[in-house]
Structure 1
Amino acid sequence: MKGPSSLLREAIVFAGLVAGMALLAACSEQNTYVAPPPPQVDVALPLKQNVTPFLEATGTTSSVNATALVARVQGFIQEINYRDGDAVKAGTVLFVIEPQPYELALDQANSAKASADAAVKQSEAEFERQKALVTKTFATQQDLEKAEAARDANVAAQQQAAASIQQAELNLSYTQVKAPFDGVVTARLVSVGELVGPNNVSTLASIVQFDPIYVDFNVSEKDVLRIRATMQKRGVTTQDLKKIPVEVGLQTETGFPHIGTLDYAAPTVTANTGQLAVRGVLDNAARQLLPGYFVRVRVPLFEEPDRLLVPDRAIGSDQSGRYVLVAGKDDVVEQRTVQIGQLVGELRVIRSGITPDDRIVVSGLLTAIPGQKIEPQMTVLTATAGDDVTQ
């Protein structure tokens, strides 16, 4: 039989066990897992619009005309009529080679021509006199033939004298070295008083034309095939290509502020590079472009209708390629592999992989997990007219 103290201890232990079980039951009710609600994610239908793709390339600028100024006659430099780096007009006299020897040569040629003219006049009169005498039998046929031969020889000498005048005039004109076109003249390579000419220093300076200016770039064989196929489909001729604008931007510039037109395309693709040489021409009156610049080039191609566009930020990438997240059936996120195209402002053209009715996840990408449910919030995509389109 238990004593009172033993019964008391058992009652205390029993009460502690009951309290502990009650406490455990209470804790169990508080730790029951409750699933969080689906995350709210912005979704939007793809924007459908016409876009004009651009063919982008890198190129270099080059002069329409650039040539060396050469001394074509021998003599001493008498004048230099420009400062190094001057912009000059076509026909400006830049160098003067001592002209006196060539002026004297021209005077001699004129004198020889005058003498030849007199000889021709005299021999012509003699020929006419002998011809009249022969008809009256006062002179022989031999005398007439001699007179005719003398006349012909003098006529030949007259023609030679005329040619000598032309040569002397040409040599005299060469004593003035003129700008062949509008341009900028480089630093002179000779000094006043220096002997120049065919057997001495011949190159005096160079001149470079800045306005207009060429931009040279290359187009890949793949793009050439695509463009030619589009041209054939739309009935575009080769002459129509010369109306297509060419946009150029320097490395330090935003966008493509310099506008010109296509000027030339090579007739063949270079076999070892698989590229076609193309050239544009641009006005350059302000001389913002210098020959030899490395530039960015953009050429608008033919408009493509009804393209689907999504925000570029909504496109992800993994080992399988580019993808977008789509709110699918029952608002469960799906990952769609897509083929992307050109950039239009902040939107990217999607060439394949989605439909116009797909709800594209455009924000909250970190909370939108493929295979899990979301609470989509519809938004509308907009694009401003005139957004840039780049290849």
Structure 2
Amino acid sequence: MRIVRACSPKKRDHIERVQYGIVVRSLGLGLAGLALSGCEQNTFVAPPPQKVEVAPPTQRNITRFLEATGNTSPFNNVDLVARVQGFLQSINYQDGSFVKKGTTLFTIEPETYQLKLQQAQAAQAGAEASNKQAETDFKRQSDLVSRQVVSQATLDQSTSARENSQANLQQAQINTRIAAVNFGYTNVTAPFDGIVSTHLVSVGELVGVSSPTQLATIVQIDPIYVNFNVSEQDVQRVREEARRRGLTVSDLRQLPIEVGLQTETGYPHKGKLDYLAPNVDASTGTLLVRGVLSNPDRTLLPGFYVRIRVPIDQQSNALLVPDSALGSDQAGRYVLVVNADNVVEQRKVTTGPLDADLRVIDSGLKPDDRVIVAGLLRAIPGQKVDPQLRKTETPTATR
């Protein structure tokens, strides 16, 4: 038997409202699920290729140089010494000044040597008079012997006296020349145009007592030498190029040379090769080479550290790329190029000298290659890029 409990109207309305809310919520969840099931799914879209700037290698004629570093040295460097003994009478120049050849720089008391010169000249005059008398007597005796007035013995004595007087005259002439030379040494003059160092002795000081006393140093720097060393490999390369062009050693000595200081741009000082050592130094594997340059403004001073280059070859249609386009790794230097499919490739290259801002490429590139010159950080080998063609600037090479 089932017992049915009757509910009040108020309670029955409450139950019906609860049931209606449950139905509404279930219907909302169903519609929301239906809406979500009707949306499209998300898919990955690849970014566009990175933009890079490319340019073909520049082609032009270049001059290949032998480059080195070296030092300048004076064309002449002489110690001025006192060659006669005496007290230093005067110093006739300013320390560090430029003087011309023949300028009197020091005077050593000349009076004593002037008197000795006059003494020698007087002795020479006496010898000349005696020789003249002996010569006259010889002629007279020869005439008398021919007329058989005097004996042959008298003529022999006259002949001996004449020869003795000639010897005495010659000795007197030599003494006069020695006295004149010593008198000339009392004035120490500049042997060439140059700059004189500070004086090493003072006025009134006794010089030349037991050995020549150094008074100062004079240096000639116009022209000026540049000394540098060339490696054995470069020597062989230059000799091979000289044989190919039919150049002799004398021709090599006439090759132009260009020099620049560390603070200068390019190589503003011009000259020519002057000397090539006859052998390679076995301890260093280098050959000593010297150049000579005009230095009228005395811009170059002895001892300067300088950059040097010597033109050794002319190359036509060389390939060049901006030096900034080159990279390097353990395998060497490389450039990034874009192939026909716009994919980046890493190309190993052999580099040559720097010509202005462009680097010479000896091997590894073709004239029609597209070299990445900007946007290198966005270029990854094996990936596609969007190449933008840019004409490579061709700055004038420094000559």
Do the aligned partners of 2:223 and 2:292 also contact (CA within 8 Å) in 1? yes
Offset of 1:15 from its aligned partner? 4.8
Alignment partner of 2:397 out of 373, 383, 387: 387
Q: 1:49 and 2:60 equivalent?
A: yes
Count of aligned residue pairs for this structure pair = 384
CA distance in 2, matches of 1:366, 1:19: 49
1:303 aligned counterpart, secondary structure: strand
Q: Give the structure 1 partner of residue 376 of structure 2.
A: 365
Offset of 1:96 from its aligned partner? 0.9
Do the aligned partners of 2:344 and 2:380 also contact (CA within 8 Å) in 1? yes
Offset of 1:193 from its aligned partner? 1.4
Q: 1:119 and 2:130 equivalent?
A: yes
1:51 maps to amino acid? I
Q: 1:241 and 2:225 equivalent?
A: no
Q: Give the structure 2 partner of residue 197 of structure 1.
A: 208
Offset of 1:208 from its aligned partner? 0.8
Q: 1:104 and 2:115 equivalent?
A: yes
CA distance in 2, matches of 1:57, 1:9: 96
Offset of 1:200 from its aligned partner? 5.8
Offset of 1:177 from its aligned partner? 0.5
Alignment partner of 1:212 out of 223, 245, 248: 223
CA distance in 2, matches of 1:157, 1:163: 10
- RMSD (Å), alpha carbons: 2.2
2:374 aligned counterpart, secondary structure: coil
1:387 maps to amino acid? A
Offset of 1:252 from its aligned partner? 2.1
Q: Give the structure 2 partner of residue 23 of structure 1.
A: 36
1:54 maps to amino acid? F
Structure 1 114/308 Cα, relative in aligned 2: closer, same or farther at 3 Å?
same
Q: Give the structure 2 partner of residue 263 of structure 1.
A: 274
CA distance in 2, matches of 1:199, 1:126: 47
Do the aligned partners of 2:319 and 2:367 also contact (CA within 8 Å) in 1? yes
CA distance in 1, matches of 2:204, 2:366: 80
Do the aligned partners of 2:231 and 2:286 also contact (CA within 8 Å) in 1? yes
Do the aligned partners of 2:127 and 2:169 also contact (CA within 8 Å) in 1? yes
Q: 1:316 and 2:327 equivalent?
A: yes
TM-score (norm 2): 0.90
Do the aligned partners of 2:84 and 2:212 also contact (CA within 8 Å) in 1? no
Structure 1 124/208 Cα, relative in aligned 2: closer, same or farther at 3 Å?
same
TM-score (norm 1): 0.91
Q: How does 1:129-168 map to 2 (within 5 A)?
A: 129-168=140-179
Structure 1 206/21 Cα, relative in aligned 2: closer, same or farther at 3 Å?
farther
Do the aligned partners of 2:82 and 2:214 also contact (CA within 8 Å) in 1? yes
2:290 maps to amino acid? R
CA distance in 2, matches of 1:64, 1:79: 28
Runs of 4+, deviation exceeding 6 Å: 3-8
1:162-191: CA deviations, max 9, x gaps?
111111111111111000001111111111
2:259 aligned counterpart, secondary structure: strand
Offset of 1:131 from its aligned partner? 2.3
Q: 1:276 and 2:267 equivalent?
A: no
CA distance in 1, matches of 2:291, 2:211: 39
Deviates more, 1:196-205 or 1:159-168: 196-205
2:69 aligned counterpart, secondary structure: strand
CA distance in 1, matches of 2:215, 2:34: 110
Do the aligned partners of 1:339 and 1:350 also contact (CA within 8 Å) in 2? yes
CA distance in 2, matches of 1:33, 1:14: 35
- Look at both structures and tell me which one has the larger radius of gyration over its CA atoms: 2
1:343-372: CA deviations, max 9, x gaps?
122221111111112111122212221111
Offset of 1:111 from its aligned partner? 1.4
Deviates more, 1:270-279 or 1:171-180: 270-279
Do the aligned partners of 2:253 and 2:276 also contact (CA within 8 Å) in 1? no
Structure 1 32/272 Cα, relative in aligned 2: closer, same or farther at 3 Å?
same
**Percent of residue pairs identical:** 53
